[in-house]
Amino acid sequence: MKTRITELFAIEHPIIQGGMHFVGLAELASAVSNAGGLGIITGLTQRTPELLAKEIARCRDMTDKPFGVNLTFLPSVKPPDYPGYVRAIIEGGVKIVETAGNNPQKWLPALREHGIKVIHKCTSVRHALKAESIGCDAASVDGFECGGHPGEDDIPNMILLPRAAEELKIPFVASGGMADARSLVASLALGADGMNMGTRFIATKEAPVHENVKQALLAATELDTRLIMRPLRNTERVLQNPAVDRLLMKERELGGNIKFEDILPEVAGVYPAIMQRGEMEAGAWSCGMVAGLIHDIPSCKELIDRIMVEAKELIRGRLARLL
């Protein structure tokens, strides 16, 4: 299948694996890229730029296909060494960067000077238009369904994607709630040039996370995610568990007076415990409503091949027959 996204990134299938903290390591990114999609290493999971450089080198050993690096720009008192991470990306010869969070404008000249294509993750049409205006090559449009940070507008993809298609000139992928061939064909019908999946890629053989995480996704339904940190305007969709219930109770009790420090035990530094050690109640972890559509743990190649075969069947079969 050829779309503006497969052309832009020189990939076979219009399927991207979004950056995921403590999930987007070289094992997953290379498996997705080897399967013809675009795998992405999560930059900030590597504690230092030097470690990111090593992770990029490890990924290159595992694939000769294009892969990208995610750089998430978060508001923080003590920001990570972003110039160092950008240098590691450039020196590592990576040609695709997925940016997310704050406006990436400051970093675009350096990236573009080295021929790096930038896809910015946006949760609203206005942010996507901003990304276009500052020179991003593509957008990843993340609907309210998504795992992680859906923003504060709460617009689901059934509306957000056609709105993005109405306004954007740059190519964009549909993100949030994507799991299978139906997601891909629907995304294309709504005007997107491909799709980005997060949660679905965690339940794959190559995802380098504890088996408990994969089993939690198999057990979860579409009813099992919760929105946390809404009062802090840093909303995150996570899988419900006792730590999340505790956090939500604090939000109810403290109301508008809540501060980030109040919920630190439930959110700060919990990813290694969950993703690596499988301590599923250690804290809150991002998860999409799409968990309800995850029923197996295929390899990335099995997953992507299945999506592409079934997408063609859907388009040539079911949809064509309706005419």
Ligand X SMILES: Cc1cc2nc3c(=O)[nH]c(=O)nc-3n(C[C@H](O)[C@H](O)[C@H](O)COP(=O)(O)O)c2cc1C
Rounded to the nearest 5°, which phi and psi values hold at 208?
-85, 60
Among 27, 132, 145, 206, binds ligand X (CB under 6 A): 145
The secondary structure of 297-314 as a DSSP string is: ---HHHHHHHHHHHHHHI
- CA distances in angstroms from 25 to 20, 45, 180, listed in the order given: 9, 8, 22
Binding to ligand X in span 172-191, by CB under 6 A: 175-178
86 is an interface residue for ligand X by CB under 6 A: no
Q: Which of 34/72 has CB closer to ligand X?
A: 72
Residues 112 and 6: their CA atoms lie apart, in Å, by: 19
141 is an interface residue for ligand X by CB under 6 A: no
Say which residues have a Cβ less than 8 Å from residue 145's Cβ, sequence separation at least 6.
156, 157, 176, 177, 237, 288, 289, 290
Rounded to the nearest 5°, which phi and psi values hold at 164?
-65, -40
Among 111, 170, 287, 304, binds ligand X (CB under 6 A): 287
* Dihedral, CA of residue 32, residue 35, residue 36 and residue 40, to nearest 10: 10
The minimum distance between CB 187 and ligand X, in angstroms, equals 12
The runs of H, that is alpha helices, within the chain are 4-9, 26-34, 49-62, 82-91, 108-113, 125-134, 157-167, 181-189, 199-202, 211-219, 242-254, 264-267, 271, 300-313, 320-321
Stretches 28-36, 78-86, 102-110, 285-293: which one binds ligand X (CB under 6 A)? 285-293
- CA distances in angstroms from 136 to 31, 121, 132, listed in the order given: 26, 10, 5
Interface with ligand X: number of residues (CB under 6 A): 29
Among 123, 199, 204, 241, binds ligand X (CB under 6 A): 199
92 is an interface residue for ligand X by CB under 6 A: no
For ligand X, which residue has the nearest CB?
198
207 is an interface residue for ligand X by CB under 6 A: no
Q: Which of 104/254 has CB closer to ligand X?
A: 104
146 is an interface residue for ligand X by CB under 6 A: yes
The minimum distance between CB 43 and ligand X, in angstroms, equals 8
Among 8, 13, 18, 311, binds ligand X (CB under 6 A): 18
138 closest CA partner among 3, 282, 285, 5: 5
88 is an interface residue for ligand X by CB under 6 A: no
46 is an interface residue for ligand X by CB under 6 A: no
121 is an interface residue for ligand X by CB under 6 A: yes
Among 148, 171, 194, 231, binds ligand X (CB under 6 A): 148
Q: Which residues bind ligand X (CB under 6 A)?
A: 18-21, 23, 42, 70, 72, 100, 121, 142, 145-148, 175-178, 196-200, 285-288, 290
